[in-house]
Amino acid sequence: MLIDPNVDKFKEECGVFGVYTNGGVDVARLTYYGLYALQHRGQESAGIAVSNGEEIKLHKELGLLTEAFTEEDINKLKGDIAIGHVRYSTTGSTKVENAQPLLSSYKLGSIAVAHNGNLVNVDMLRGLLEDVGYVFHTTIDTEVVISLIARGVNKGIEAAVYDAIGAIKGSFAMVIETKDKLIGVRDPYGIRPLCLGKIDEGYVLTSESCAFDTIGAEFIRDIEPGEIVIIDENGVKSISYSEKTGGHTCAFEYIYFARPDSVIDGINVHQSRVRAGEQLFREAPIEADVVIGVPDSGIPAAVGYSKASGIPFDMGFVKNRYVGRTFITPSQELRERAVSVKLNPLKCNVEGKRVVLIDDSIVRGTTSRHLIESLRKAGATEVHFRVASPVVQFPCYFGIDISYRKELIGANKTTEEICDFIGCDSLAYLSLDGLKESLGNNSINGFCLGCLNGKYPVSTPIEIDKNYLER
């Protein structure tokens, strides 16, 4: 049995980071450590682009940061402005050409772009650009953005970015670098997070506030939905390019993606997960002897469930933290011996006990089944599964790697059928209202709940393609 909880999860999208300084700072190293705090958002590739005021130099490779960069690579990147990216591919295959940032030259200089999210009208825009002679070198939507910006750069970089952003639809948190500016952009609905921080020597943009703590920066504020910020020698300038939408931050940022020590749009991620666990007990109580969580994102909800129920919380699984992004697949003989590579039950805490197992979500269900089997083999007398989010029933088009309902167990089976499939004694999910309750009354933003209720803040690619063909 190969137990890897990451196999049965949504993938972590991407992470972006940018820094502007007035000199005297090793911005490449600063960006490296900022990206290190965002490594959970993407493990397929990493890249850093640095401007020295005259030109932009770029280094990017496949793999984790520690695989993509050496000390020598960092030392070659000298300048005062930098952007960086860690990637999990939601569009485009995994090859170094598709790694970000993307760097492009145009008549007035160079521009680099790093993007978290997904553009839903990218195929239409790519076709229009190809019709007027553009040749694309990658298969990712970020190249469409950089081509749109370069196309209008004669108007000045601010106008070019404004026009390009107006043409694209979908989710995006971007950092853009020219020879003398750092620009941040968040989509009109704020689906993907982006925030602004201050260091003594300048300003920082990043996907999550946890990166500020890593480099000693101070959080200033979240970038608002529909906002462009331009950072240069004059300081920070803000441009609103879209009507106020009220925001629709991706709910899965709080459920699973974000690090627990981040604060996104005024909501503390860890506290929201604990509240989800408390609400889950109120909605789905059960008599049991111990509450355990699936490491790592299921643990805060398990703490909340324990707190609300009075049932003791304890460690249920030991996580092997030295298993990297890839490892040698066990042989059939080892599989038959039920070898657990990443998670192994802590027998002394579950043997002879009625167990409440808490996880943040169920996507495909296969790992949940393996975890329950392992608990029973460790001697658990009952296993009651509680999920700290509603049923995932619909695909995501905005930066998550699930595009088809056939991949989702919640779209194809009832709760009773899922319970039978994963082999638990009972199964319950947090309700949609319960999730909203756990996220609190946030006056700044609402939430994108498309994968949970099928209602999306932006037209999906299917709707866009249909409308385009009907013209």
Binding residue positions = 250, 297, 359-360, 396, 448, 451
Q: What is the pLDDT averaged over residues 320-327?
A: 62
Residue 441 has pLDDT above 70, yes or no: no
Q: What is the pLDDT averaged over residues 360-376?
A: 93
pLDDT digits (tens, 9 = 90+) for 171-208: 999 999 999 999 999 999 999 999 999 998 899 999 99
Would you place residue 444 in the very low, low, confident or very high pLDDT band (cuts 50, 70, 90)? Answer: low
How many DSSP H helices and E strands does the chain contain? Answer: 18, 23
**Domain 15-264 of CATH type 3.60.20.10:** yes
pLDDT digits (tens, 9 = 90+) for 397-417: 886 666 568 879 999 999 999
pLDDT digits (tens, 9 = 90+) for 115-172: 999 898 989 999 999 898 888 888 888 999 999 998 888 889 999 999 999 999 999 9
pLDDT digits (tens, 9 = 90+) for 84-107: 999 986 555 567 888 999 999 877
Residue 392 has pLDDT above 60, yes or no: yes
**What is the amino acid identity at position 93?**
S
pLDDT digits (tens, 9 = 90+) for 221-253: 999 999 999 999 999 999 999 887 778 999 999
pLDDT digits (tens, 9 = 90+) for 257-305: 999 999 999 999 999 999 999 999 999 999 999 999 999 889 999 999 9
Give the β-pairing of 202-206 and 218-222: unpaired
The token duo for 260 is 């627990």
**pLDDT for 395:** 87
Q: What is the pLDDT averaged over residues 443-471?
A: 68
Residue 426 has pLDDT above 90, yes or no: yes
Residue 470 has pLDDT above 70, yes or no: no
**What is the amino acid identity at position 391?**
V
Q: What is the pLDDT averaged over residues 307-322?
A: 92
**pLDDT for 93:** 55
**Residue 419 falls in the annotated catalytic set:** no
- Best CA proximity match to 84, nearest among 100, 68, 64, 62: 100
Q: What is the pLDDT averaged over residues 12-24?
A: 89
- Best CA proximity match to 325, nearest among 140, 93, 65, 71: 65
Would you place residue 1 in the very low, low, confident or very high pLDDT band (cuts 50, 70, 90)? Answer: very low
Residue 460 has pLDDT above 80, yes or no: no
The token duo for 60 is 């990017």
Binding residue positions for [4Fe-4S] cluster = 250, 396, 448, 451
The CATH 3.40.50.2020 domain(s) of the chain lie at 268-319+327-440
Average pLDDT, the chain: 89
| Rounded Cα–Cα distance for residues 63 and 86 (Å) | 9
**pLDDT for 335:** 54
Residue 340 has pLDDT above 70, yes or no: no
Binding residue positions for Mg(2+) = 297, 359-360
**pLDDT for 465:** 42
User: Of 370 and 95, which is predicted with more confidence?
Assistant: 370
The CATH 3.60.20.10 domain(s) of the chain lie at 15-264
Catalytic residue among 14, 195, 210, 424: 14
For residue 221, report the phi and psi dihedrals to the nearest 5 degrees.
-170, 165
Residue 80 has pLDDT above 60, yes or no: yes
Exposure b/e, 390-413, CB count within 10 A at least 16 = b:
bbbebbbbbbbbbeeeeebbbbeb
Under 8 Å between Cβ of 5 and 341 = no
**What is the amino acid identity at position 63?**
G
- For 210-218, the CB contacts below 8 A with 24+ separation are 210/37, 210/38, 210/258, 210/259, 210/261, 210/262, 211/17, 211/34, 211/35, 211/37, 211/38, 213/37, 213/261, 214/33, 214/34, 214/36, 214/37, 215/30, 215/33, 215/34, 215/37
The token duo for 13 is 């999208």
**pLDDT for 5:** 52
Would you place residue 342 in the very low, low, confident or very high pLDDT band (cuts 50, 70, 90)? Answer: confident
**Domain 268-319+327-440 of CATH type 3.40.50.2020:** yes
